[in-house]
Structure 1
Amino acid sequence: MAALWRKDAKLWVEGRKNFFENLESLYVQKIHNRQSCLWIHVASLGEFEQGRPLIEKIRSEHPGLPICLSFFSPSGYEIRKNYEGADLVCYFPSDLKDEISRFIDLIRPLAVIFVKYDFWFNTLRELTYRHIPYYFISVHLPKDVYLRKSFMSPLLDELKNAEGIFVQQEEDLHFFRSKNFAEVWRAGDTRIDRVLQLAKQAIENEVVEKFIHGQPCLIAGSAWLPELQLISQIADVLIAAGWKIIIATHHTDEETLRETEALFRGQCCRYGDSVHQGDIMIIDRIGLLNTLYRYAHLALVGGGFGKGIHNTLEPAAFGIPLCFGPNYEKFIEASDFVRLGLARVVITSDDLLSMAQSCLDVNIVAAHKNRIGQWMHTHQGATQFIFDKIQPIITRSAQQATR
């Protein structure tokens, strides 16, 4: 973990060397006639996925409007630096007044969208000073976040300069309304629209189909060591009962893949192997997981024994039973799933084995698929709601960009 942190820190520093010179050169290459743009900022990959449905909706409705997408995190930037939904992908410079002023001078945004809760107050002041409208989408303020502290009210009040704030849940709406925010709406979670779209578009994967061969399948998504250890303790029992196991570790570097193989004592093959022997497959590349869930009878979502679970909406979109470790409560959808009996918290390998056994009951699985499908259907539509609200300013920006 320390090595990964050092790698991210190194990328963060290197990504900001000669930042403005490189950005200006890139802007000339990517943005035709140096047009003004719509600037969208995300902290990292998770926030990008939250904003992506809206980015692509704007792109489809206003293809002539240049989009500049900025990342704070090196990990998000490195994975999405070639994202085709934006004309220009770059780092966020810093929130220092001189730097953000220079950045705005260079990209000349007509409007700005911030995703979730990346609040950079010098940036917001500069945008307000220049009369550049900005929005916050997919906002969720955990109860322990600094902006909820009474002594932070002057900073919180600065957010009233936003053109609009779109929150994920009712409690956030009540909080902002109690602080006399007028332009705030509950839109929901844009990721739900995205995962439902992906589930509809998921194509068949011949490699996985041949490996599973019609047998029940446990998929561990974005798994860390604690999830791998749980699986390793019951792998022999599952395999003896006819299960196949697919593991997508959170990191796919060679060291992690080898450590995973060692944990399962040679029972593994890799997705990229020419021959797939054994009953456990390790996914050795990124970008496959969200479509592989279609083959799962049970999904174990990683991260619940660490800082927090990863994406539970991706497996939920396929209607499959899901489980995860105990650290899930700061995630709205996961808390809902547990409360409604649509997901189970697993602590021990016996918990996981018990859930796997229940997933072989076709009546239980059918009832689960129906109930979680209803939840997803009820909570979709955030992207369209936000787009309808911001449409006047986006349309005006698109018209100004082409002048």
Structure 2
Amino acid sequence: MKTLYNIIVQLYALAIRTAAFQNAKAKQWIEGRKNIWQHLTKITTAIRPLWFHVSSSGEFEQARPIIELFKKHFPEIPVVLTFFSPSGYERFKHFDGVDFVAYLPLDTRSNAYRFLQSVRPRLAFFVKYEFWYHYFEQLHIARVPFFLISAVFHPGQPFFKFYGRSYRSVLSFPDYFFLQDEVSALWLQRLGHTNGAVVGDTRIDRVA
């Protein structure tokens, strides 16, 4: 499984690099990650932070109420926020509701290990569709509790296709799934995972 996954990740990175010659967003994706390790050295707090990872702006809005809740009750604990997408990062890179904002390095075993050594999270949260094998595995190895929030499962995902069966192992790493709806809970249970609860869409709760 890992070999195929690693090939897919590297092919994706190659496609982004190729597209960067003509596509501004792809270029931002590459340029934003060039100095990522130097950027991460700016995390100097002695207090281990909470780490929230989102894909882009929409997923950030789902994480935001939870970040605000933590900051309200535990203001002394730093929060690190990472983005996969340039559009989300560029929009919220100066967001003052967290202590540090960065891009997430490409999901390789070495990057995941190095990232966790730099950030040293006490808890980690991934939003909706963010299933990154090496980050999940390294968090599990480091015994850092982590959770999926506003998670969604449906039959169109690789987990439920014949070609994605080996990828299902990524779901064995999270400590708990906070799901958006009952349908997602049923699909997750079909894969044998009962460590989840339906809590709704946190973004809707925030607007309400």
Percent identical residues: 37
Deviation at 1:195, TM superposition (A): 1.1
Q: Deviations over 1:221-243 (max 9, x none)?
A: xxxxxxxxxxxxxxxxxxxxxxx
Select which of 87, 105, 115 maps to 2:127.
115
Unaligned runs of 5+ in 2: 1-18
Q: Is the 8 A contact 2:154 2:183 kept in 1?
A: no
Q: CA RMSD in A?
A: 1.7
Secondary structure of the 2:23 match is helix
Residue 193 of structure 1 is matched in structure 2 by 205
Alignment of 1:46 with 2:58, yes or no, is yes
1:14 maps to 2:26: no
Helix, strand or coil: the match of 2:101? Answer: strand
Please point out which of 146, 149, 170 is paired with 2:182.
170
Q: Deviations over 1:344-374 (max 9, x none)?
A: xxxxxxxxxxxxxxxxxxxxxxxxxxxxxxx
Structure exhibiting the larger radius of gyration computed from Cα positions: 1
**What letter corresponds to residue 84 of structure 2 in structure 1?**
F
Question: Paired residue for 1:100?
Answer: 112
The answer to whether residue 40 in structure 2 is matched with residue 23 in structure 1 is yes
Residue 89 of structure 2 is aligned to residue 77 of structure 1: yes
Shift of 1:141: 2.2
Per-residue CA shift, 1:73-128, capped at 9, x if unaligned? 11100000011111101100110111111111001011110000111101111111
Q: For residues 235-314 of structure 1, what are the structure 2 equivalents within 5 Å?
A: none
Deviant stretches of 4+, over 2 Å: 150-155
How far apart in 2 are the matches of 1:174 and 1:125?
24
Q: After superposing the two structures, state which structure 1 stretch, 61-70 or 138-147, moved more.
A: 138-147
The corresponding residue for 1:132 is 144
Q: What TM-score results when the alignment is normalised by the length of structure 2?
A: 0.85
In the alignment, the residues of structure 1 paired with residue 141 and residue 40 of structure 2 have an alpha-carbon distance, to the nearest angstrom, of 23
Structure 1 residues 1-43: Cα deviation after superposition (integer angstroms, max 9, x where no partner): x99x81111111111112201221x313xxx3x3211110000
1:401 — aligned with what?
Answer: none
In the other structure, the counterpart of 1:235 is none
Task: Please report how far the alpha carbon of residue 151 of structure 1 lies from its aligned counterpart in structure 2 after TM superposition.
Answer: 4.1
Aligned equivalent of 1:89, options 97, 101, 111: 101
Q: Structure 1: any 5+ residue segments left out of the alignment?
A: 197-403
Number of aligned residue pairs: give it: 189
Q: Give the counterpart letter for 1:12 in structure 2.
A: W
Asked if residue 36 in structure 1 is aligned to residue 48 in structure 2, the reply is yes
User: In the alignment, which of 55, 71, 76 is matched to residue 67 of structure 2?
Assistant: 55
**Larger relative CO (CA 8 A, sep 6+): 1 or 2?**
2
CA distance, structure 2, for counterparts of residue 41 and residue 152 of structure 1? 23
How much has 1:187 moved relative to structure 2? 0.7
